[in-house]
Amino acid sequence: MRSGPTMTPRERILALLHGDRPDQVPWFGDLDYWASALIARGKKPAGFTRSAEYLQWHRSLGVGFYLQGYFPFRAILDVQERTWHEGNRRYRELVTPKGNLRECWEYLPESYAEAPIEHLVKTEEDLPAFRYVYSHTSWEADYDFARQRVEQIGDQGILLCYLPKSPFMHLVALEAGIAAVTFMVAAAPDEFAETLAVMQSTFDKAARIAVDSPAEVLMIPENLSAEVVGRRFFEKYMRVYQEKWIREIAGAGKYSFIHMDGTLKGLVREEASTGVSVIEAMTPAPVGDLPIDQWAAQADNPGTILWGGIPGDISRPM
pLDDT digits (tens, 9 = 90+) for 67-119: 888 999 999 999 999 999 999 999 999 999 999 999 999 999 999 999 999 99
Q: Model-level pTM?
A: 0.94
Segment among 66-75, 98-107, 121-130, 154-163 with least mean pLDDT = 66-75
When the pLDDT of each residue in the chain is averaged and rounded to a whole number, the result is: 94
What confidence category does residue 314 fall into, taking pLDDT thresholds of 50, 70 and 90?
Answer: low
Q: Above 80 in pLDDT, residue 144?
A: yes
What's residue 178's pLDDT?
Answer: 97
On the question of pLDDT at 316 being above 60, the answer is: no
pLDDT band at 257 (very low <50, low <70, confident <90, very high): very high
List pLDDT tens digits, range 28-50: 989 998 999 999 999 999 999 99
Angle between helices 144-153 and 52-61 (to 10 degrees): 30
Q: Which tens digits make up the pLDDT trace of 263-298?
A: 999 999 999 999 999 999 999 998 899 999 999 999
Quickly state the pLDDT bin for 313 (edges 50, 70, 90). low
Q: Which range is least confidently modeled, 12-16, 66-70, 165-169?
A: 66-70
Question: Does residue 318 register a pLDDT over 50?
Answer: no
User: CA end-to-end span of the chain, whole Å?
Assistant: 37
What single string gives the DSSP state of each residue in the chain?
---STT--HHHHHHHHHTT---SS---EEE-HHHHHHHHHTTSS-TTGGGSHHHHHHHHHHT-EEEE--B-SEEEEE-SEEEEEEETTEEEEEEEETTEEEEEEEEEETTTTEEEEEE-S--SGGGHHHHHHHHHTEEEEE--HHHHHHHHHHGGGB--EEEPPPPHHHHIIIIIS-HHHHHHHHHH-HHHHHHHHHHHHHHHHHHHHHHHTSS-SEEEEEEEE-TTTS-HHHIIIIIHHHHHHHHHHHHHTT-EEEEEE-S--TTTHHHHHTTT-SEEEEE--TTTSSS-GGGHHHHH--TTSEEEE---GGGSPP-
Q: What is the pLDDT of residue 164?
A: 98
pLDDT at 290: 94
Q: Determine what percent of the chain is predicted with pLDDT higher than 90.
A: 90
Task: Provide, rounded to the nearest whole percent, the portion of the chain with pLDDT above 70.
Answer: 96
